[in-house]
């Protein structure tokens, strides 16, 4: 099985602050990977590099053999900043924009997702709650036919019912041949989705394993493992 993501000796500093510290990571095609770590561990920085948003770093990052940039953006589905959605008036305007912008965007899949998640295309973006914005964001991301999907904290700040709806939408729409990276510190609600998990701490991947291996070898859930590793920094 080929690797979609290959990262070697990746270091990213913001002035003197080391956000990623000689990080190594390899992710195989067709896996759903949980990127798990507390606040400030480097998740967003890593995701911004993978998405091509942060271009200055040392080390090597390859996505399907290419350094992050215009080429990889055509097969990596990620919306860096949800506030981008505020530039649009209605949900239908966002859908139209994605349709025009991404060749791999499947409009009917997006409309189905919006429908399943209880969103109306005629709704104004300004009228949406945080959970609804998250659902819109997810519908847009999942409606692309990408090689790599990156979901940054998809369930943060949404209520338990919306969380379940979002998780079900992710499960129902994962393409078997695609890879998905989901960053979160809300491990308990989402851990059943993961094939593999990467624990990130102080800018390094400190453990990477198949989720089931962790459960069988340590006899605890991924959530409990997270708490074991990060102790009191767990926040729900």
Ligand X SMILES: Nc1ncnc2c1ncn2[C@@H]1O[C@H](COP(=O)(O)OP(=O)(O)OP(=O)(O)O)[C@@H](O)[C@H]1O
The one among 27, 43, 77, 119 contacting ligand X by CB under 6 A: 43
By CB under 6 A, residue 41 contacts ligand X = yes
Assign 3-class secondary structure to the chain. CCEEEEEEEEEEEECCEEEEEEEEEEEECCCEEEEECCCCCCHHHHHHHHCCCCCCCEEEEEECCECCCHHHHCCEECCCCHHHHHHCCEHHHHHHHHHHHCCCECHHHHHHHHHHCCCCCCCEHHHCCHHHHHHHHHHHHHCECCCEEEEECCCCCCCHHHHHHHHHHHHHHCCCCCEEEEEECCHHHHHHHCCEEEEEECCEEEEEEEHHHHHHHHCCCHHHHHHHHHHHHCCC
The one among 40, 90, 96, 102 contacting ligand X by CB under 6 A: 40
> Which range of residues in 41-49, 87-95, 98-106, 132-140 is near ligand X by CB under 6 A?
41-49
At 227, list the tokens. 């708490």
The one among 2, 16, 39, 127 contacting ligand X by CB under 6 A: 39
By CB under 6 A, residue 83 contacts ligand X = no
- The site for ligand X, by CB under 6 A, has a size of 12
By CB under 6 A, residue 42 contacts ligand X = yes
The one among 7, 10, 19, 170 contacting ligand X by CB under 6 A: 19
By CB under 6 A, residue 16 contacts ligand X = no
At 53, list the tokens. 């948003």
By CB under 6 A, residue 14 contacts ligand X = yes
The one among 45, 51, 77, 139 contacting ligand X by CB under 6 A: 45
Q: Which is nearer to ligand X, 125 or 233 (CB)?
A: 233
Closest approach of ligand X to the CB of residue 219, in Å: 28
Q: Which is nearer to ligand X, 108 or 235 (CB)?
A: 235
Closest approach of ligand X to the CB of residue 213, in Å: 24
Interface with ligand X (CB under 6 A): 14, 17, 19, 37, 39-45, 185
């Amino acid at each position: 099985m080929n690797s979609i993501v290959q990262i070697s000796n990746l270091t990213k500093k913001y002035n003197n602050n080391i956000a990623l510290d000689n990080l190594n990571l390899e992710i195989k095609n067709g896996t759903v990977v949980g990127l798990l770590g507390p606040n400030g561990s480097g998740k967003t920085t890593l995701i911004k590099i993978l998405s091509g948003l942060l271009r200055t770093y040392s080390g090597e990052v390859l996505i399907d053999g290419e350094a992050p940039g215009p080429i990889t953006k055509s097969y990596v589905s990620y919306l860096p900043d949800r506030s981008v959605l505020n530039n649009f008036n209605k949900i239908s305007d966002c859908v139209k924009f994605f349709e025009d912008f991404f060749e791999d965007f499947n409009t009917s899949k997006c409309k189905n997702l919006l429908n399943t998640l209880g969103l109306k295309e005629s709704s104004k973006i300004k009228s949406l709650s945080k959970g609804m914005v998250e659902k819109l964001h997810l519908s847009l991301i999942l409606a692309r036919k990408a090689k790599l999907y990156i979901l940054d904290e998809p369930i943060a700040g949404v209520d338990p019912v919306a969380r379940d709806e979002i998780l079900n939408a992710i499960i129902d729409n994962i393409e078997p041949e695609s890879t998905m990276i989901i960053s979160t510190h809300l491990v308990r609600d989402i851990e059943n989705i993961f094939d593999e998990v990467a624990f990130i701490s102080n800018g390094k991947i400190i453990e990477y394993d198949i989720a089931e291996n962790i459960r069988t070898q340590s006899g605890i859930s991924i959530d409990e493992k997270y708490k074991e590793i990060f102790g009191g920094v767990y926040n729900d």
